[in-house]
Amino acid sequence: MNFRTPPPFPPVILDDVRGARKMLSGVARMTPMEGSRHLSGLVGAPVHFKCENLQRTGSFKLRGAYVRIAGLSPVERAAGVVAASAGNHAQGVALASALLGVRSTVFMPVGAPLPKVAATREYGAEVRLHGHVVDETLAAAEEYAQETGAVFIHPFDHPDIIAGQGTVGLEILEQCPEVRTIVVGVGGGGLAAGIAVAVKAVRPDVRIVGVQAAGAACYPPSLAAGHPVAIGSLQTMADGIKVGRPGDVPFELVRELVDEVRTVSEAELSSALLLCLERAKLVVEPAGASPVAALLSAPESFRGPVVALLSGGNVDPLLMQRILTHGMATAGRYLSLRVRLTDRPGALATLLSVLTVADANILDIGHVRTDPRLGLTEAEVDLHLETKGPEHCEEVTAKLRGAGYLVTE
């Protein structure tokens, strides 16, 4: 196979990022940085959140989209732009286009969260739903560009996009000059590449760690192969980093400048999102919580001070509900049990009194009498309980068994 020959010079340099920052003045906000006492305690050094979830449109994507569109010629602007995205890039392109007076068309997957679709339309873009994964949507947008002459605005595979995203890195250096590690989520690689360009040029000692969802991790095999490799199966709740192949342009920069790319599980993503909401009072989408997941999974492996980039906060409320439930279960905050008892008056009340003593909150209860495994005078009760953590789960189970109940989990 023939692979793209790397350019003899970097596609993006520090001056490009500095130029992008001037262009973004008055457009993108300098988002705040917040400390995390909980994670600082785990890591043994200061941990800060860079809150791009509080950026306009709810993610960092406005930065790169605006720089890319602002750099178009008058003829190109007149032809309009087209993009493909599961949500964040879509909103960035839509708002950037509106600010610059450019017509925009955005292709989104059929299953894209409704709040993201609605927000993209409200920013002024024409939205077309096509495909079920981002790669299919990208192909449709590229075909539209060829047919109409509209300029395709890639979500990560362009130097202007990377330069725009790199402005986050400049802000991190200003807000936390003592930073020693930056942790950033990685999809196609535009954000990680941009930050690496900006940070390594000024502070080559800063370690940059990329994080991917284990079910959509295209960078580890690509880095091992030395060129972008497409992966077949993409299974993750983190749609913002659900990308099947690294971009050609960011890949070269990530390979050269990013120190490590790790993966995190779905359970770790759920726990990270729950921590952001409960401890930091921040609404963060799964992709944006991936750096927090990495810190939770191996806190001792990070040298502080650490900056974890919360890249976005656009999450469907229904998905948020499911993720939080999953996160609480992973954290041992939910306990599901089946308890067998004698089917007689007062038996259920006696069971509930044991749970009251154990200080477990009952969320749901179901009575089973017709299972053929049960004896004539037996019944089973399905219990869904809210608990205080893994130790409390063990305590509740022990109290039930100590009271003589047969308990199955």
Model confidence at 3, pLDDT cuts 50, 70, 90, reads very low
pTM of the predicted model as reported, rounded to 2 decimal places: 0.83
Residue 254 in this model has a pLDDT that exceeds 60: yes
Task: Determine which one of 50, 61, 116, 200 is catalytic.
Answer: 61
How many Cβ atoms are within 10 Å of 379's Cβ, its own excluded? 19
Model confidence at 137, pLDDT cuts 50, 70, 90, reads confident
Q: Whole-angstrom Cα distance, residue 61 to residue 87?
A: 10
Residue 143 in this model has a pLDDT that exceeds 80: yes
Closest CA to 185 of 58, 290, 61: 290
Q: Please, which residues have CB within 8 angstroms of residue 157's CB and are 6 or more apart in sequence?
A: 188, 190, 247, 248, 249, 250
Q: Whole-angstrom Cα distance, residue 291 to residue 308?
A: 6
Q: What percent of the chain has pLDDT over 70?
A: 97
Closest CA to 85 of 66, 63, 113: 113
Three-state DSSP class for residue 273: helix
- In this prediction, residue 393 carries a pLDDT of 85
- In this prediction, residue 211 carries a pLDDT of 98
Q: How far is CA 102 from the centre of its chain?
A: 29
Helix (H) or strand (E) holding 208: strand 207-213
Known active-site residue 116: no
Give tens-digit pLDDT for 165-217: 999 999 999 999 999 999 999 999 999 999 999 999 999 999 999 999 999 99
Q: Whole-angstrom Cα distance, residue 361 to residue 169?
A: 45
DSSP annotation of 269 reads: H
- In this prediction, residue 8 carries a pLDDT of 53
Residue 28 in this model has a pLDDT that exceeds 60: yes
Q: Whole-angstrom Cα distance, residue 140 to residue 146?
A: 10
Residue 120 in this model has a pLDDT that exceeds 70: yes
Rounded to 5 degrees, what angle do the CA atoms 144, 150, 151 make? Answer: 110
With tokens 């299974």, the residue in question is 235
- In this prediction, residue 181 carries a pLDDT of 98
- In this prediction, residue 343 carries a pLDDT of 77
Closest CA to 93 of 131, 48, 125: 125
- In this prediction, residue 2 carries a pLDDT of 41
Known active-site residue 61: yes
323 residue type, one letter: I
Task: Determine which one of 40, 271, 290, 311 is catalytic.
Answer: 311
Give tens-digit pLDDT for 78-98: 999 999 987 899 999 999 999
How many Cβ atoms are within 10 Å of 134's Cβ, its own excluded? 26
Residue 219 in this model has a pLDDT that exceeds 50: yes
Q: Please, which residues have CB within 8 angstroms of residue 44's CB and are 6 or more apart in sequence?
A: 299, 300, 304
- In this prediction, residue 400 carries a pLDDT of 86
Q: What is the mean pLDDT of residues 283-301?
A: 96
| Most confident range, picked from 68-72, 108-112, 381-385 | 68-72
| Residue 212 or 353, more confident | 212
Question: In terms of C-beta density within 10 A (0-12 exposed, 13-18 middle, 19 or more buried), how is residue 35 classed?
Answer: middle
Q: Whole-angstrom Cα distance, residue 73 to residue 96?
A: 15
Per-chain mean pLDDT for the chain:
90
Residue 380 phi/psi, 5° resolution?
A: -125, 145
Tokens of residue 174, six digits: 């200003």
Q: Please, which residues have CB within 8 angstroms of residue 176's CB and are 6 or more apart in sequence?
A: 33, 48, 305, 307
Whether 238 and 287 have beta carbons less than 8 Å apart is answered as yes
- Among the residue ranges 64-73, 139-148, 177-186, 382-391, the one predicted with the least confidence is 382-391
Rounded to 5 degrees, what angle do the CA atoms 167, 168, 170 make? Answer: 65
Give tens-digit pLDDT for 259-285: 999 999 998 998 999 899 888 999 999
Model confidence at 1, pLDDT cuts 50, 70, 90, reads very low
70 residue type, one letter: A
Tokens of residue 404, six digits: 């003589």
Residue 4 in this model has a pLDDT that exceeds 60: no
Give tens-digit pLDDT for 309-330: 999 998 877 777 777 777 777 7
Q: What is the mean pLDDT of residues 145-152?
A: 96
